Protein backbone atom coordinates (compact mmCIF):
# COMPACT_ATOMS: atom_id res chain seq x y z
CA UNK A 1 0.00 0.00 0.00
CA UNK A 2 1.32 3.43 -0.92
CA UNK A 3 2.03 6.05 1.72
CA UNK A 4 -0.64 8.28 0.15
CA UNK A 5 -3.34 5.62 0.51
CA UNK A 6 -2.19 4.81 4.04
CA UNK A 7 -2.41 8.47 5.05
CA UNK A 8 -5.85 8.81 3.43
CA UNK A 9 -7.17 5.77 5.33
CA UNK A 10 -5.73 7.10 8.60
CA UNK A 11 -7.43 10.44 8.04
CA UNK A 12 -10.74 8.74 7.21
CA UNK A 13 -10.48 6.67 10.38
CA UNK A 14 -9.81 9.78 12.50
CA UNK A 15 -13.10 11.25 11.29
CA UNK A 16 -15.03 8.03 11.85
CA UNK A 17 -13.54 7.59 15.31
CA UNK A 18 -14.56 11.18 16.19
CA UNK A 19 -18.13 10.43 15.09
CA UNK A 20 -18.21 7.22 17.13
CA UNK A 21 -17.08 9.09 20.24
CA UNK A 22 -19.69 11.79 19.62
CA UNK A 23 -22.34 9.05 19.43
CA UNK A 24 -21.09 7.68 22.77
CA UNK A 25 -21.29 11.14 24.32
CA UNK A 26 -24.80 11.73 22.91
CA UNK A 27 -25.98 8.35 24.19
CA UNK A 28 -24.58 8.96 27.67
CA UNK A 29 -26.12 12.44 27.77
CA UNK A 30 -29.50 10.96 26.83
CA UNK A 31 -29.30 8.28 29.51
CA UNK A 32 -28.45 10.85 32.19
CA UNK A 33 -31.29 13.11 31.07
CA UNK A 34 -33.82 10.26 31.18
CA UNK A 35 -32.59 9.28 34.64
CA UNK A 36 -32.77 12.78 36.16
CA UNK A 37 -35.44 14.39 34.00
CA UNK A 38 -38.01 16.66 35.70
CA UNK A 39 -41.46 15.28 36.31
CA UNK A 40 -43.88 15.75 33.44
CA UNK A 41 -41.22 15.79 30.72
CA UNK A 42 -40.94 13.14 28.04
CA UNK A 43 -38.06 10.75 27.65
CA UNK A 44 -35.43 11.51 25.05
CA UNK A 45 -34.26 9.00 22.48
CA UNK A 46 -30.90 8.45 20.85
CA UNK A 47 -31.78 6.39 17.80
CA UNK A 48 -30.42 6.40 14.24
CA UNK A 49 -32.63 9.36 13.29
CA UNK A 50 -31.22 11.57 16.05
CA UNK A 51 -27.64 10.48 15.31
CA UNK A 52 -28.10 11.11 11.57
CA UNK A 53 -29.31 14.61 12.39
CA UNK A 54 -26.27 15.13 14.59
CA UNK A 55 -23.99 14.00 11.74
CA UNK A 56 -25.67 16.36 9.27
CA UNK A 57 -25.24 19.31 11.61
CA UNK A 58 -21.63 18.39 12.31
CA UNK A 59 -20.75 18.12 8.60
CA UNK A 60 -22.49 21.41 7.84
CA UNK A 61 -20.26 23.42 10.14
CA UNK A 62 -17.04 21.41 9.90
CA UNK A 63 -14.89 21.40 6.77
CA UNK A 64 -12.68 18.63 8.18
CA UNK A 65 -15.65 16.25 8.38
CA UNK A 66 -16.94 17.22 4.94
CA UNK A 67 -13.61 16.24 3.42
CA UNK A 68 -14.34 12.63 4.42
CA UNK A 69 -16.76 10.12 2.93
CA UNK A 70 -20.35 10.39 4.13
CA UNK A 71 -20.81 6.66 3.41
CA UNK A 72 -18.19 5.55 5.92
CA UNK A 73 -19.43 8.05 8.50
CA UNK A 74 -23.04 6.89 8.15
CA UNK A 75 -21.93 3.28 8.55
CA UNK A 76 -20.28 4.22 11.85
CA UNK A 77 -23.67 5.41 13.10
CA UNK A 78 -25.30 2.17 11.90
CA UNK A 79 -22.68 0.08 13.69
CA UNK A 80 -23.09 2.15 16.86
CA UNK A 81 -26.86 1.70 16.73
CA UNK A 82 -26.53 -2.09 16.42
CA UNK A 83 -24.10 -2.29 19.35
CA UNK A 84 -26.33 -0.10 21.51
CA UNK A 85 -29.47 -2.06 20.60
CA UNK A 86 -27.73 -5.35 21.44
CA UNK A 87 -26.69 -4.02 24.86
CA UNK A 88 -30.20 -2.76 25.61
CA UNK A 89 -31.73 -6.09 24.56
CA UNK A 90 -29.37 -7.98 26.88
CA UNK A 91 -30.49 -5.75 29.74
CA UNK A 92 -34.17 -6.38 28.93
CA UNK A 93 -33.52 -10.12 28.79
CA UNK A 94 -31.89 -9.84 32.25
CA UNK A 95 -28.79 -11.70 31.21
CA UNK A 96 -25.99 -11.99 33.79
CA UNK A 97 -23.58 -9.06 33.69
CA UNK A 98 -20.71 -11.24 32.44
CA UNK A 99 -22.84 -12.32 29.44
CA UNK A 100 -24.03 -8.86 28.39
CA UNK A 101 -22.56 -7.12 25.39
CA UNK A 102 -22.12 -3.82 27.23
CA UNK A 103 -22.77 -0.30 25.97
CA UNK A 104 -20.47 0.97 23.19
CA UNK A 105 -17.27 2.47 24.60
CA UNK A 106 -15.05 5.34 23.52
CA UNK A 107 -12.38 4.55 20.95
CA UNK A 108 -8.99 5.90 21.95
CA UNK A 109 -6.48 7.01 19.35
CA UNK A 110 -3.62 4.74 20.44
CA UNK A 111 -5.76 1.71 21.25
CA UNK A 112 -8.56 1.38 18.69
CA UNK A 113 -7.65 -0.29 15.40
CA UNK A 114 -8.96 1.36 12.21
CA UNK A 115 -12.06 -0.19 10.65
CA UNK A 116 -13.99 1.41 7.78
CA UNK A 117 -17.22 0.05 6.26
CA UNK A 118 -18.50 0.96 2.80
CA UNK A 119 -21.79 -0.01 1.21
CA UNK A 120 -22.19 -0.65 -2.52
CA UNK A 121 -22.48 3.03 -3.35
CA UNK A 122 -19.21 3.82 -1.56
CA UNK A 123 -16.76 1.64 -3.48
CA UNK A 124 -16.04 0.09 -6.86
CA UNK A 125 -13.60 -2.42 -8.37
CA UNK A 126 -11.72 -1.40 -11.51
CA UNK A 127 -8.77 -3.27 -13.03
CA UNK A 128 -8.11 -5.14 -9.80
CA UNK A 129 -8.02 -1.94 -7.74
CA UNK A 130 -10.40 -0.91 -4.98
CA UNK A 131 -11.75 2.64 -5.34
CA UNK A 132 -13.27 4.00 -2.14
CA UNK A 133 -15.43 7.08 -1.70
CA UNK A 134 -13.30 10.14 -1.08
CA UNK A 135 -10.80 9.40 -3.85
CA UNK A 136 -8.91 6.61 -2.03
CA UNK A 137 -7.44 4.02 -4.42
CA UNK A 138 -6.03 0.73 -3.06
CA UNK A 139 -4.05 -1.91 -4.92
CA UNK A 140 -5.38 -5.19 -3.50
CA UNK A 141 -3.42 -8.45 -3.26
CA UNK A 142 -6.23 -10.94 -3.87
CA UNK A 143 -6.25 -14.16 -1.86
CA UNK A 144 -8.88 -15.60 -4.24
CA UNK A 145 -11.30 -14.40 -6.89
CA UNK A 146 -14.66 -13.08 -5.82
CA UNK A 147 -17.46 -15.53 -6.75
CA UNK A 148 -19.99 -12.70 -7.22
CA UNK A 149 -20.32 -8.94 -7.06
CA UNK A 150 -19.80 -7.77 -3.45
CA UNK A 151 -22.50 -5.83 -1.63
CA UNK A 152 -20.16 -4.17 0.90
CA UNK A 153 -16.53 -4.05 1.97
CA UNK A 154 -14.75 -3.59 5.29
CA UNK A 155 -11.24 -2.13 5.25
CA UNK A 156 -9.48 -2.75 8.56
CA UNK A 157 -6.01 -2.86 10.11
CA UNK A 158 -4.70 -5.58 12.40
CA UNK A 159 -2.37 -5.25 15.40
CA UNK A 160 0.69 -5.68 13.15
CA UNK A 161 -0.24 -2.70 10.98
CA UNK A 162 -1.36 -4.81 8.00
CA UNK A 163 -4.43 -3.68 6.09
CA UNK A 164 -7.14 -6.11 4.90
CA UNK A 165 -10.29 -5.85 2.80
CA UNK A 166 -13.22 -8.12 3.62
CA UNK A 167 -15.93 -8.33 0.96
CA UNK A 168 -19.51 -9.51 1.54
CA UNK A 169 -20.71 -11.83 -1.24
CA UNK A 170 -23.55 -14.39 -1.45
CA UNK A 171 -22.54 -17.75 0.02
CA UNK A 172 -22.32 -20.68 -2.39
CA UNK A 173 -23.08 -24.25 -1.36
CA UNK A 174 -20.62 -26.85 -2.65
CA UNK A 175 -22.31 -30.25 -2.09
CA UNK A 176 -20.16 -33.28 -1.30
CA UNK A 177 -21.00 -36.92 -2.15
CA UNK A 178 -23.21 -38.65 0.40
CA UNK A 179 -21.54 -41.16 2.70
CA UNK A 180 -24.45 -42.42 4.81
CA UNK A 181 -22.46 -41.85 8.01
CA UNK A 182 -23.26 -39.66 11.02
CA UNK A 183 -21.05 -38.40 13.85
CA UNK A 184 -21.41 -36.94 17.33
CA UNK A 185 -18.98 -34.32 18.64
CA UNK A 186 -18.27 -33.58 22.31
CA UNK A 187 -15.99 -30.69 23.29
CA UNK A 188 -13.43 -30.95 26.06
CA UNK A 189 -10.14 -29.69 27.44
CA UNK A 190 -8.00 -32.81 27.54
CA UNK A 191 -8.94 -33.35 23.88
CA UNK A 192 -10.39 -30.44 21.96
CA UNK A 193 -13.03 -32.66 20.36
CA UNK A 194 -14.01 -36.26 21.06
CA UNK A 195 -16.20 -37.90 18.44
CA UNK A 196 -18.00 -41.19 17.95
CA UNK A 197 -15.33 -42.04 15.37
CA UNK A 198 -11.84 -42.67 16.73
CA UNK A 199 -10.31 -41.52 13.43
CA UNK A 200 -11.84 -38.02 13.75
CA UNK A 201 -10.90 -37.07 17.32
CA UNK A 202 -9.15 -33.71 17.58
CA UNK A 203 -6.23 -33.83 20.04
CA UNK A 204 -5.07 -30.77 21.96
CA UNK A 205 -2.45 -29.18 19.67
CA UNK A 206 -1.06 -26.88 22.43
CA UNK A 207 -0.01 -24.14 20.01
CA UNK A 208 -0.09 -21.53 22.78
CA UNK A 209 1.99 -23.65 25.14
CA UNK A 210 4.70 -24.04 22.49
CA UNK A 211 4.86 -20.27 21.94
CA UNK A 212 4.71 -19.37 25.67
CA UNK A 213 8.49 -19.02 26.15
CA UNK A 214 8.93 -16.55 23.29
CA UNK A 215 5.80 -14.66 24.31
CA UNK A 216 7.03 -14.28 27.90
CA UNK A 217 10.36 -12.95 26.67
CA UNK A 218 8.82 -10.19 24.57
CA UNK A 219 6.28 -9.32 27.26
CA UNK A 220 9.16 -8.76 29.70
CA UNK A 221 10.72 -6.47 27.10
CA UNK A 222 7.47 -4.51 26.92
CA UNK A 223 7.28 -4.26 30.71
CA UNK A 224 10.81 -2.87 30.96
CA UNK A 225 10.10 -0.26 28.29
CA UNK A 226 6.59 0.66 29.42
CA UNK A 227 6.01 4.38 28.71
CA UNK A 228 4.52 6.80 31.19
CA UNK A 229 0.75 7.13 31.13
CA UNK A 230 -0.43 9.36 28.31
CA UNK A 231 2.91 9.31 26.45
CA UNK A 232 3.75 7.35 23.29
CA UNK A 233 6.06 4.36 23.62
CA UNK A 234 9.69 4.38 22.51
CA UNK A 235 10.94 2.59 19.39
CA UNK A 236 12.10 -0.29 21.57
CA UNK A 237 8.67 -0.57 23.18
CA UNK A 238 6.93 -0.52 19.80
CA UNK A 239 9.31 -3.20 18.47
CA UNK A 240 8.58 -5.45 21.47
CA UNK A 241 4.85 -4.82 21.05
CA UNK A 242 5.05 -5.87 17.39
CA UNK A 243 6.85 -9.08 18.38
CA UNK A 244 4.08 -9.88 20.87
CA UNK A 245 1.38 -9.16 18.31
CA UNK A 246 3.19 -11.28 15.73
CA UNK A 247 3.35 -14.27 18.07
CA UNK A 248 -0.33 -13.93 19.00
CA UNK A 249 -1.27 -13.75 15.32
CA UNK A 250 0.84 -16.82 14.52
CA UNK A 251 -0.79 -18.87 17.28
CA UNK A 252 -4.28 -17.72 16.22
CA UNK A 253 -3.62 -18.76 12.63
CA UNK A 254 -2.24 -22.13 13.74
CA UNK A 255 -5.39 -22.78 15.76
CA UNK A 256 -7.56 -21.68 12.86
CA UNK A 257 -5.67 -23.86 10.39
CA UNK A 258 -5.88 -26.91 12.69
CA UNK A 259 -9.62 -26.38 13.21
CA UNK A 260 -10.37 -25.97 9.50
CA UNK A 261 -8.40 -29.04 8.44
CA UNK A 262 -10.12 -31.16 11.08
CA UNK A 263 -13.54 -29.73 10.18
CA UNK A 264 -13.01 -30.53 6.50
CA UNK A 265 -12.19 -34.18 7.26
CA UNK A 266 -15.26 -34.53 9.52
CA UNK A 267 -17.61 -32.93 6.99
CA UNK A 268 -16.18 -34.89 4.07
CA UNK A 269 -16.78 -38.27 5.75
CA UNK A 270 -20.21 -37.68 7.34
CA UNK A 271 -23.64 -36.56 6.13
CA UNK A 272 -25.00 -35.31 9.47
CA UNK A 273 -23.30 -33.89 12.56
CA UNK A 274 -24.58 -33.78 16.14
CA UNK A 275 -22.49 -31.03 17.76
CA UNK A 276 -22.55 -30.04 21.40
CA UNK A 277 -23.71 -26.42 21.64
CA UNK A 278 -20.95 -25.70 24.13
CA UNK A 279 -20.00 -22.13 25.01
CA UNK A 280 -16.57 -22.14 26.67
CA UNK A 281 -16.77 -18.55 27.94
CA UNK A 282 -17.35 -19.65 31.55
CA UNK A 283 -14.04 -21.57 31.48
CA UNK A 284 -12.21 -18.23 31.43
CA UNK A 285 -12.85 -17.89 35.18
CA UNK A 286 -11.97 -21.47 36.08
CA UNK A 287 -8.69 -23.18 36.95
CA UNK A 288 -8.61 -24.57 33.40
CA UNK A 289 -8.72 -21.12 31.79
CA UNK A 290 -5.26 -21.23 30.20
CA UNK A 291 -5.60 -24.74 28.80
CA UNK A 292 -9.16 -24.09 27.63
CA UNK A 293 -8.04 -20.93 25.82
CA UNK A 294 -5.20 -22.84 24.16
CA UNK A 295 -7.66 -25.54 23.04
CA UNK A 296 -9.60 -22.89 21.06
CA UNK A 297 -12.90 -24.76 21.35
CA UNK A 298 -14.86 -21.78 20.02
CA UNK A 299 -12.70 -21.50 16.89
CA UNK A 300 -12.96 -25.24 16.18
CA UNK A 301 -16.73 -25.20 16.68
CA UNK A 302 -17.15 -22.20 14.36
CA UNK A 303 -14.97 -23.81 11.70
CA UNK A 304 -16.97 -27.05 11.88
CA UNK A 305 -20.36 -25.34 11.56
CA UNK A 306 -19.21 -23.08 8.71
CA UNK A 307 -17.63 -26.00 6.83
CA UNK A 308 -20.78 -28.12 7.23
CA UNK A 309 -23.02 -25.34 5.91
CA UNK A 310 -20.67 -24.65 3.02
CA UNK A 311 -20.89 -28.26 1.85
CA UNK A 312 -24.59 -28.79 2.57
CA UNK A 313 -24.26 -31.11 5.56
CA UNK A 314 -26.93 -31.26 8.29
CA UNK A 315 -25.82 -29.78 11.64
CA UNK A 316 -27.72 -30.50 14.88
CA UNK A 317 -26.72 -28.30 17.83
CA UNK A 318 -27.35 -30.23 21.03
CA UNK A 319 -27.85 -28.57 24.42
CA UNK A 320 -24.98 -29.63 26.71
CA UNK A 321 -27.06 -30.09 29.88
CA UNK A 322 -26.54 -33.50 31.53
CA UNK A 323 -24.67 -34.94 28.54
CA UNK A 324 -21.97 -36.29 30.87
CA UNK A 325 -24.54 -37.82 33.23
CA UNK A 326 -26.68 -39.75 30.72
CA UNK A 327 -25.93 -43.24 29.47
CA UNK A 328 -25.76 -43.51 25.68
CA UNK A 329 -26.94 -47.14 25.81
CA UNK A 330 -30.04 -47.10 28.01
CA UNK A 331 -30.64 -43.41 28.76
CA UNK A 332 -30.27 -43.71 32.53
CA UNK A 333 -28.97 -40.67 34.37
CA UNK A 334 -26.59 -40.65 37.30
CA UNK A 335 -27.87 -39.10 40.50
CA UNK A 336 -24.87 -36.80 40.91
CA UNK A 337 -22.67 -34.90 38.47
CA UNK A 338 -19.42 -36.69 37.74
CA UNK A 339 -16.23 -34.92 38.86
CA UNK A 340 -13.79 -33.98 36.12
CA UNK A 341 -11.19 -36.34 37.55
CA UNK A 342 -13.44 -39.31 36.76
CA UNK A 343 -12.75 -40.07 33.10
CA UNK A 344 -14.68 -43.37 32.80
CA UNK A 345 -18.48 -43.55 32.66
CA UNK A 346 -20.03 -46.61 34.29
CA UNK A 347 -23.80 -46.96 34.05
CA UNK A 348 -25.41 -48.42 37.19
CA UNK A 349 -28.55 -49.40 35.27
CA UNK A 350 -27.24 -51.41 32.31
CA UNK A 351 -23.62 -51.86 33.35
CA UNK A 352 -22.15 -50.20 30.24
CA UNK A 353 -18.61 -48.89 30.70
CA UNK A 354 -16.94 -46.44 28.28
CA UNK A 355 -14.67 -43.40 28.27
CA UNK A 356 -16.55 -40.40 29.61
CA UNK A 357 -16.14 -38.20 26.52
CA UNK A 358 -16.95 -41.04 24.12
CA UNK A 359 -20.19 -41.68 26.00
CA UNK A 360 -21.05 -37.97 25.74
CA UNK A 361 -20.40 -38.01 22.00
CA UNK A 362 -22.85 -40.91 21.57
CA UNK A 363 -25.39 -39.02 23.72
CA UNK A 364 -25.14 -36.19 21.16
CA UNK A 365 -26.23 -38.60 18.44
CA UNK A 366 -29.13 -39.87 20.50
CA UNK A 367 -30.40 -36.40 21.38
CA UNK A 368 -30.18 -35.28 17.75
CA UNK A 369 -32.22 -38.30 16.66
CA UNK A 370 -29.39 -39.65 14.52
CA UNK A 371 -28.97 -42.88 16.51
CA UNK A 372 -32.26 -44.91 16.54
CA UNK A 373 -30.82 -47.33 19.08
CA UNK A 374 -29.91 -44.59 21.55
CA UNK A 375 -31.93 -42.91 24.25
CA UNK A 376 -32.28 -39.29 25.26
CA UNK A 377 -32.72 -38.18 28.86
CA UNK A 378 -34.81 -41.26 29.46
CA UNK A 379 -35.08 -43.74 32.29
CA UNK A 380 -34.89 -47.51 31.92
CA UNK A 381 -38.10 -48.74 30.35
CA UNK A 382 -38.95 -45.40 28.71
CA UNK A 383 -39.07 -44.97 24.92
CA UNK A 384 -36.60 -42.48 23.42
CA UNK A 385 -38.00 -39.31 21.79
CA UNK A 386 -38.27 -38.81 18.06
CA UNK A 387 -35.59 -37.24 15.84
CA UNK A 388 -34.70 -33.56 16.15
CA UNK A 389 -36.38 -31.11 13.80
pLDDT digits (tens, 9 = 90+) for 337-374: 777 778 888 887 787 888 888 888 898 888 888 865 44
DSSP character for 273? Answer: E
Cα 224 from Cα 304, distance rounded (Å): 41
Asked if residue 211 lies in contact with residue 247, where contact means CB atoms within 8 angstroms, the answer is: yes
Asked if the model's pLDDT at residue 124 lies above 90, the reply is: yes
Provide the pairing of β-strand 272-276 with 202-203: unpaired
pLDDT of residue 101: 74
Within the chain, residue ranges assigned H as helices are: 3-36, 48-60, 63-66, 70-92, 207-210, 212-224, 235-269, 289-295, 297-310, 356-367
Mind listing the pLDDT tens digit for each residue in 318-331?
888 888 888 887 87
Quickly list DSSP for 220-258: HHHHHTPPPTTS---HHHHHHHHHHHHHHHHHHHHHHHH
pLDDT of residue 75: 93
Cα 369 from Cα 61, distance rounded (Å): 63
Asked if the model's pLDDT at residue 382 lies above 50, the reply is: no
CB-based contacts of 295, cutoff 8 Å, min separation 6: 188, 189, 192, 204, 280
Provide the pairing of β-strand 191-195 with 136-139: unpaired
pLDDT of residue 98: 67
pLDDT of residue 369: 84
Q: 377 or 43, which is more confident?
A: 43
Asked if the model's pLDDT at residue 387 lies above 50, the reply is: no
pLDDT of residue 307: 93
pLDDT of residue 343: 82
Confidence of residue 311 (pLDDT cuts 50, 70, 90): very high
Share of the chain above pLDDT 70, in %: 94
Q: 370 or 273, which is more confident?
A: 273
Cα 326 from Cα 380, distance rounded (Å): 11
Amino acid sequence: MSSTARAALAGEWDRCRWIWNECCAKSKQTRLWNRDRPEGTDKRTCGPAQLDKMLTEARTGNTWLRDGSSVAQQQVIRDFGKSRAKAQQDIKDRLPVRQRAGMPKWKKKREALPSLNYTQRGFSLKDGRLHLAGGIVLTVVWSRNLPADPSSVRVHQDSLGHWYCSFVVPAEVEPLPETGAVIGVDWGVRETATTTSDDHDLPHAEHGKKAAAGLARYQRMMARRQPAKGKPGSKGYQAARRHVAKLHRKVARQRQDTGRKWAKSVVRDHDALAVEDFRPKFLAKSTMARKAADAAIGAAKTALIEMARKHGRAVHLVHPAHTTMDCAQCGARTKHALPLSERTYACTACGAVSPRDKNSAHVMLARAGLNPAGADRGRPGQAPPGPAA
